[in-house]
Amino acid sequence: MTAPPRGDGPGSDPAIQALLDQSWPRDLPAGDEQQLLAAGRRLLTADATGVGRTAFPVIFPPRQQTVMVPAFTRIRIQAAVARADPAHPDRALVHLVWAGADRGGTYTDGRLADLSFTRSPSPNGATAWQPMPLS
C-alpha cells in the first residue's frame, strides 16, 4: 500500500490510517491505545491552535496562555496511532498525521507530530498517561 498524494483531502484519511496501522503493528492494550489517541489529539490541537491548553497545565503553564498567538487554524487529524516506546517500558508515542491552515492561510496536509506520554498510576488503580514536555 502506498500513501495517497498530498492534497487529496479528507477522502484520503482512511488510506493514511490503514498505512499507519499496517506499518506500525499494535502493541498496547486497546484501552491504553484509545486513551493515548484521545489525549494525543487534544494535545496536538492545544499546541497548534491554542484551544484546550488549560487541560495541559504542565505543558502550557498558565502564564504563557495569555500571550499565545495560534500558529494554525482548521486542523484535521488525518490519521493517528499510539504505540509503546521500546526503549522505555513506561512510555508511549502517539504519531499523528494532520492537516491545517497556517497564519498565512496556506492549508497543508501530511504534517507529522510525535507526542510522548509516560504511564503513571491513578488513584483508582487504572493506568493514566501524562504528556511529556514538547520538544
Break the chain into its structural domains and give their ranges.
Answer: 10-131
Rounded distance, CA 54 to CA 79, Å? Answer: 24
pLDDT range class, residue 125, cuts 50, 70, 90: confident
Whole-number percent of the chain with pLDDT over 70: 91
pTM over 0.85: yes
Contact 23, 16 (CB under 8 A): no
Residue 88 has a pLDDT of: 93
The residue among 116, 99, 111 whose CA lies nearest residue 58 is 116
pLDDT surpassing 90 at residue 134? no
Tens digit of each residue's pLDDT (9 = 90 or more) over 62-105: 875 566 677 898 899 999 999 999 999 899 999 999 999 988 88
pLDDT surpassing 80 at residue 126? no
Name the DSSP letter for residue 14.
Answer: H
Positive/negative CA dihedral, 68, 35, 13, 22: positive
Q: Is 13 helix (H, G, I), strand (E, B) or coil?
A: helix
Cell matching residue 15: 488510506
Strand-pair partners of 111: 98
